[in-house]
């Protein structure tokens, strides 16, 4: 069984990616044709709340470093706002960068809404604007022949919602794996409409595309995991990341309750032969919020989310995660950034 924590080295305090005046989240890294490391991340201004300010103001940016662990420096905004008439016109989030042959594929989440101005004072989860923005979340992609762009966005989502299913309200958090033949397996997060029109609990599901140029089709009519006995209002698992080793698929994801891996907000491990039937490894922890830093200190982060593993020469090179300096999640955080743990 894979034990990622055995391979984690102390994290450099100055590594990863952060920006003054911005919330930073969702780091995804690839080595470009220039030999440097390029991180695609979400950012939004601190004049808005961390949550749910991202749903209104998030944009995907690119940062660069000479080393996989960073530090990364902002270079450009890759997917800015482009107007309410587009499905992803008002916010872009959850980037996942990958490559197939000579093409870079950037999967992401977009949303739109008809409100001309979003005041920082109105960004709370009770505001109807938040509900509308959430309900329009879809998964799309952008492609480029160069890490420097230009990026061609999909004119419609590559994965949309379905009426009367567990993903009728929104789809988000794309975790793709591109197979050697160019087909794509996707694990994603979804929510359904409840009978009263509210947003239901989050679940994970699987989709498939014959190539990155095609739309995804849903592979199952039920979520990947059944947590009906879980009393958490959020569900049990989110933020999946999947990869394949030999003939086996592996998944790490955030344990919302701690009932699976033993630590709340730490990482679970699951294995599958087909991306449909997953076996949760009870008691196995793939990552922890307790971080050992290279200066010898140990600190428990408020958040450790959106895990992404950079593979080089077939082996894990670095684990990235969105972290906060709060003490329990990101609700009371003053800063967020994408940290890096060498492996």
Q: What is the pLDDT of residues 156-203, one digit of tens each?
A: 999 999 999 999 999 999 999 999 999 999 999 999 998 887 888 899
pLDDT band at 230, cuts 50/70/90?
low
- Would you state the pLDDT for residue 122? 65
Average pLDDT, the chain: 93
Domain 4-233+305-342, CATH number (from 2.40.110.10, 2.115.10.20, 3.40.50.2300, 3.40.1050.10): 2.115.10.20
Better-scored residue on pLDDT, 219 or 341: 341
String of DSSP letters for 296-338: S-EEE-SEEEEEEEEEETTEEEEEEEEEESSSSSSTT-S-EEE
Query: Would the pLDDT of 233 be above 60?
Result: no
CA distance 160 to 141: 12
Query: Would the pLDDT of 271 be above 60?
Result: yes
Better-scored residue on pLDDT, 43 or 130: 43
Mean pLDDT, residues 147-164:
97
Residues of the chain above pLDDT 90, percent: 85
Q: Is-contact 89 80, C-beta < 8 A?
A: no
Better-scored residue on pLDDT, 215 or 127: 215
Query: Would the pLDDT of 217 be above 70?
Result: yes
Q: What is the pLDDT of residues 85-130, one digit of tens each?
A: 999 999 999 999 999 999 999 999 999 999 887 878 766 777 788 9
Mean pLDDT, residues 284-293:
96
Pairing of strands 298-300, 290-292: antiparallel
Residues of the chain above pLDDT 70, percent: 97
- Would you state the pLDDT for residue 117? 79
What is the domain partition of the chain in residue ranges?
A: 4-233+305-342
Q: What is the pLDDT of residues 135-145, one digit of tens each?
A: 999 999 999 99
| DSSP category for residue 287 | B
Query: Would the pLDDT of 204 be above 90?
Result: yes
Q: Which residues of 58-95 are buried (b: 16+ CB within 10 A; e: fewer)?
A: bbbbbbbbeebbbbbebeeebbebeeeeebbbbbbbbb
| DSSP category for residue 128 | H
String of DSSP letters for 8-77: PPPBPTT-SB--TTEEEEEEEEEE-TTSSEEEEEEEEETTS-STTTHHHH-EEEEEEESSTT---EEEEE
Query: Would the pLDDT of 73 be above 60?
Result: yes
- Would you state the pLDDT for residue 229? 59
Better-scored residue on pLDDT, 221 or 160: 160
CA distance 93 to 107: 10
CB atoms within 10 A of CB 194: 12
Q: What is the pLDDT of residues 48-71, one digit of tens each?
A: 999 999 999 999 999 999 999 999
- Would you state the pLDDT for residue 198? 81
């Amino acid at each position: 069984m894979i034990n990622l924590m055995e391979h984690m080295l102390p994290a450099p305090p100055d590594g990863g990616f952060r920006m003054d005046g911005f919330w930073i989240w969702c780091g995804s890294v690839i080595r470009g044709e220039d030999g440097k490391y390029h991180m695609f991340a979400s950012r939004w201004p601190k004049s808005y709340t961390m949550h749910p300010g991202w749903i209104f103001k998030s944009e995907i940016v690119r940062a660069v470093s000479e080393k996989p662990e960073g530090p990364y420096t902002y270079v450009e905004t890759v997917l800015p706002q482009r107007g309410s008439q587009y499905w992803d016109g008002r916010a872009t989030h959850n980037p996942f960068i990958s490559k197939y042959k000579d093409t870079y594929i950037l999967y992401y989440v977009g949303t739109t809404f008809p409100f001309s101005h979003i005041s920082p004072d109105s960004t709370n989860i009770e505001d109807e604007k938040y509900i509308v923005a959430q309900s329009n979340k879809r998964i799309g992609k952008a492609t480029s022949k160069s890490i420097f762009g230009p990026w061609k966005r999909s004119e419609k989502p590559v994965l949309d919602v379905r009426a009367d299913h567990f993903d009728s309200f929104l789809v988000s958090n794309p975790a793709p794996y591109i197979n050697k033949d160019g087909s794509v397996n996707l694990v994603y997060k979804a929510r359904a409409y409840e009978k009263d029109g509210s947003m239901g609990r989050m679940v994970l599901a699987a989709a498939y595309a014959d190539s990155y140029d095609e739309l995804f089709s849903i592979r199952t009519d039920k979520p990947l995991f059944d947590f009906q006995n879980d009393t958490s209002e959020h569900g049990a698992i989110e933020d999946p990341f999947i990869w394949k080793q030999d003939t086996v698929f592996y998944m790490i994801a955030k344990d919302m309750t701690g009932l699976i891996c033993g630590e709340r907000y730490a990482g679970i491990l699951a294995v599958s032969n087909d991306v449909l039937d997953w076996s949760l490894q009870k008691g196995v922890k793939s990552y922890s919020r307790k971080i050992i830093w290279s200066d010898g200190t140990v600190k428990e982060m408020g958040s450790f989310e959106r895990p992404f593993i950079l593979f080089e020469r077939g082996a894990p090179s670095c684990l990235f995660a969105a972290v906060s300096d709060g003490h329990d999640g990101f609700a009371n955080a003053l800063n967020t950034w994408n940290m890096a743990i060498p492996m």
